[in-house]
Structures are given as C-alpha cells and as structure tokens.
Amino acid sequence: MLFVPEDVFDLCLDRAKKLMGSAKYNSWLSNASFRSFSDGVFTIGLDSKIRANFVSHNYKDNLEELLREASGDPDISVVFTHLPETLSLGKVSNSSRHELFSNYLKPGYVFDRFIQGPNNRLAFATAYSVACEMGRSSSNPLFIYGGVGLGKTHLIQAIAHRIKTNQPDKTFCYISSEEFLTMFLRAMIPNKNNFIDMEKFKDKFRNSHYLIMDDVQFLSNKETTQDLFFHLFNDLYLRGRQIIVTSDRPPHELEPLTERLISRFQSGMVVDIKPPMLETRLAILNQKLSDENINLDGDVVFYLAETVKSNVRQLEGAVNLLAANIRIQNFVPTIDNVRSLITEYLGSSSRRLNPSSITSVVGEFFGVNPNTLKGKKRKREILIPRQVSMFLLRDLTSLSLEEIGDYFDRDHSTVLNAIKRVNAMISEDPFFNRKIIDIKESLLG
C-alpha cells in the first residue's frame, strides 16, 4: 500500500464535493466517514440505511473511480455501511502507525522458511540479529546485496515479520525504493491528487525505529529523492534507529548515487547473498515440494536441483509448473517427463526478455498493436510505447543501443533519446512511473 487510506478518503470527498456541487454533496455525502480499509476495500460509513442505499446506488462507481485515482490503485472497491462505528464490519483498520506500509509483507517470508547455506549464512545471521536488537553500530546500516531471486526481499521481510511479533512496541517502515520514489513524487505534486503532505510523509519515516528499504539501486539518478532519503536516513541513523537496505549490487557500484550516500552504506555492515550451491538448492527444493505436497523420486529431485540453478525464484517457478501439471493434466513426474517440461521451461524463461516479447507486453499495456511500434508512425500514442520498449530493452536485456536501434530500424541516438525521455517522464509523473513498474513486473514475474 502506497497511501494512507484516511488521506485518500479525504481527498476523494473533496473532489466529490467539487464535482457534485455543494447542494447534492451536503444532502448525501457530508457525513460520510472513513471506517476501514482492508484488502483493497474501503468501507464508508453513512448515518442511515436510506442514505447508505442511495449513495451505494447512485455514487458508488464515481466514488470508486475517485478513490482509484487518488490512491493510484486500480483495484480499489467500496462498500457502504450504516451501522454505528463499533459494530461496523471490517473494523480492523490496517493503517495503524505501527504497520505502515507493512501490507506488502508476504506471510511466508519469515526466518523459519529461509533455508540457510554457505551462500547466505552471514546475511541470514546478521538480518536475524538486527531483527532482535536494533541499532547496534556494528551492523547499522545493514546493507544486503545480491543478484535477482536470491532471497533478499524474503530476508528483509522476515526482519519486519519478526519485529511485528517479537517487538510490538517498535515501529518499522518497509518500502521499496520505487515506492518511496512514487510517494515522494506524489507528495511533491501541487494541488491535483496531493493527498500526501510532505511533512506527513517525512514523519512516517522519522517515527520508525526500523527503516527497511528494498532495492535501493532504483534511487539512482534521482537527485532530489536521494537528497531527501539521505536526510531521513541521517536523521534516523543519528538517533540510533536501524536502517536496512538491499541492492542488486555492492555499494561502490551504485555509481549514480551520491558519494555521501554510498559511504554511509559502507559505514555499517555489508553482506552479500550468492547463488546457492547444489546442497542448498536441494534443501530449498525439498521445502517447496513439500509445500506443494509433491512426492518425487530422489533422482528427479536431484535432476531439478542440478539443472535449475540460476536462482531460487527460478527453482520455485519450476516447482509451481510441476505442481500445476500434476494437478491439472495428470502428469506423471517420471524423470523423462520432468526433463522435457523443465527444458522447455528454462528455454521459455530466457526467451521472454527479447525485443518481440517486450514490445508485445508494452503494446498490451498501452493498448496499441505491437507491430506498429516497429513502424514509422510518430503519433504520441505510438511514440511513447515505442520509447518505453526501447527503455526496457536497454534496462532488462544486454542488447546494445545499436542492436536495439536495429530492431526498430532507427539509429542508436534515437534509442538514447528515448531512454532519456522515459527517465524524465518517470521522474515527473508518478502514474507513468507506476505503469513502468507494472510492465517490468509482468515481464519479470
């Protein structure tokens, strides 16, 4: 959750008032109150059954739309209640200060379910000790880095879970740097959609005992965000609060980040996670297979552990695929069957990030035919998704500017411009930024 539900609700009412006019608004919505927000559903209280029914009939769609717009979450829905507050359903508001942002925590990402091996033992031990005792100078800040799918997010969410259960008096803020950026940009926008007050935004961080930020490499290149982050970071640090960050590379390679931020990261504990060795992959595999209730012959398990080795996420993907096949298609997991399934799986996951798949996903997101992206049209509807495709090809594949240009039949300077343009739009427009994140997730997912 990237927003404070109460604030989004207030903003939505403000806008409803403008759109409906005061007279109508006063008759129907002036006493509407925020009751709760849970699983994407806002519960709105009204003072009588008649009012609740009327509003539900006549304004539900509009309110939903306003809430979606204000929160940036397209899946928001609304229910109405006329029951007094103490009786209203879904009273459990999840916006308590303690759990701010913690909705993003995955239930299974706990220490107990994190398999240790030589590749991650130090990261695990440090994360665990930090979760039990905050702010010890030798491990503050804690900087965890490693390649994709190796368990960084799992580990730092485990810290958050642990704080929730074992140190309920401590507050934490768990956020990815991309979300931080989106929030920051939203707080900066004057008037329209400005439901996050900059001071409130900062307070949320200042009041945390733990600041846990995932994928800090995305702060790169955004100087104002880095500045704000640095100050928040310093302020927390000086007050003995614990900071934990992850990144896909070590501090000294976070080049576009300012020197002072990098040296701050280096001043605490820096630990890495490496790809797991065979033994650890076997242990992880056995855990996932037992989660899925799948029994496999030893040689099949061994084959999987030996073959699927680039990262743990890929290993999980293989188990999920196997589970789906066994359940849906009466697939018998003999070594031969599993081998052909996995061969295809490994082929397709490396095939997914290429020019034609990226343009087709981008096309889908922007509602344009992917073939037109390769064409000559310069209309804005086509131009932007084309530039986004170039940007993502550069970001997600190892293709050079020239190679990307070749695919679109353009030269490398056009690609470079496209990348600059997209970077600028990302910094200027939080909704655009969100869209890019969604596209990336769908490509990498």
Q: Site residues (CB under 6 A) for ligand ADP?
A: 109, 113-115, 120, 146, 148-154, 284, 312-313, 316
Minimum Å gap between C-beta 152 and ligand ADP is: 3
Residue 115 binding partner per list Mg ion, ligand ADP, none, with a CB distance cut-off of 5 to 8 Å that depends on partner kind: ligand ADP
Residue 148 binding partner per list ligand ADP, Mg ion, none, with a CB distance cut-off of 5 to 8 Å that depends on partner kind: ligand ADP
Query: Residue 242 interacts with Mg ion (CB under 5 A)?
Result: no
Query: Residue 153 interacts with Mg ion (CB under 5 A)?
Result: yes
Minimum Å gap between C-beta 293 and Mg ion is: 27
Q: With respect to Mg ion, which residue has the nearer C-beta, 213 or 353?
A: 213
Q: Which residue is nearest to Mg ion (CB)?
A: 153
φ and ψ of 11, to 5 deg: -65, -40
Looking up tokens 């990815």 gives 176
Minimum Å gap between C-beta 273 and Mg ion is: 11
**Which H/E stretch holds residue 62?**
helix 49-71
Q: With respect to ligand ADP, which residue has the nearer C-beta, 308 or 404?
A: 308
Minimum Å gap between C-beta 276 and Mg ion is: 16
- The residues near 34 (Cβ < 8 Å, ≥ 6 apart) are 5, 6, 9, 10, 42, 44, 45
Q: With respect to ligand ADP, which residue has the nearer C-beta, 193 or 310?
A: 310
Residue 313 binding partner per list Mg ion, ligand ADP, none, with a CB distance cut-off of 5 to 8 Å that depends on partner kind: ligand ADP
Looking up tokens 């960050």 gives 245
In angstroms, the CA 132 to CA 162 distance is 8
CB 40 within 8 A of CB 75: yes
Q: With respect to Mg ion, which residue has the nearer C-beta, 20 or 437?
A: 437
Residue 120 binding partner per list ligand ADP, Mg ion, none, with a CB distance cut-off of 5 to 8 Å that depends on partner kind: ligand ADP
Minimum Å gap between C-beta 148 and Mg ion is: 7
Q: Tell me which long-range contacts 25-34 makes (C-beta under 8 A, separation of at least 24).
A: 28/54, 28/55, 28/58, 28/59, 29/55, 29/59, 33/85, 34/5, 34/6, 34/9, 34/10
DSSP classification of residue 169: T
Give me the torsion for CA of 249, 256, 229, 426, rounded to 10°.
-100
Residue 274 binding partner per list Mg ion, ligand ADP, none, with a CB distance cut-off of 5 to 8 Å that depends on partner kind: none
Stretch that binds Mg ion, among 124-132, 145-153, 260-268, 274-282 (CB under 5 A): 145-153
Residue 219 binding partner per list ligand ADP, Mg ion, none, with a CB distance cut-off of 5 to 8 Å that depends on partner kind: none
**Which H/E stretch holds residue 35?**
strand 33-38
Q: With respect to ligand ADP, which residue has the nearer C-beta, 40 or 275?
A: 275
φ and ψ of 389, to 5 deg: -60, -40
| Nearest one of 8, 17, 87 to 42, comparing CA atoms | 8
In angstroms, the CA 107 to CA 404 distance is 40
Q: With respect to Mg ion, which residue has the nearer C-beta, 153 or 389?
A: 153
Cβ atoms within 10 Å, residue 77: 13
Q: Which residue is nearest to ligand ADP (CB)?
A: 151
Q: With respect to Mg ion, which residue has the nearer C-beta, 89 or 444?
A: 444
In angstroms, the CA 262 to CA 255 distance is 8
Residue 316 binding partner per list Mg ion, ligand ADP, none, with a CB distance cut-off of 5 to 8 Å that depends on partner kind: ligand ADP
Q: With respect to ligand ADP, which residue has the nearer C-beta, 7 or 316?
A: 316
Minimum Å gap between C-beta 254 and ligand ADP is: 16
CB 245 within 8 A of CB 213: yes
Query: Residue 247 interacts with Mg ion (CB under 5 A)?
Result: no
Binding residues for Mg ion (CB under 5 A)? 152-153
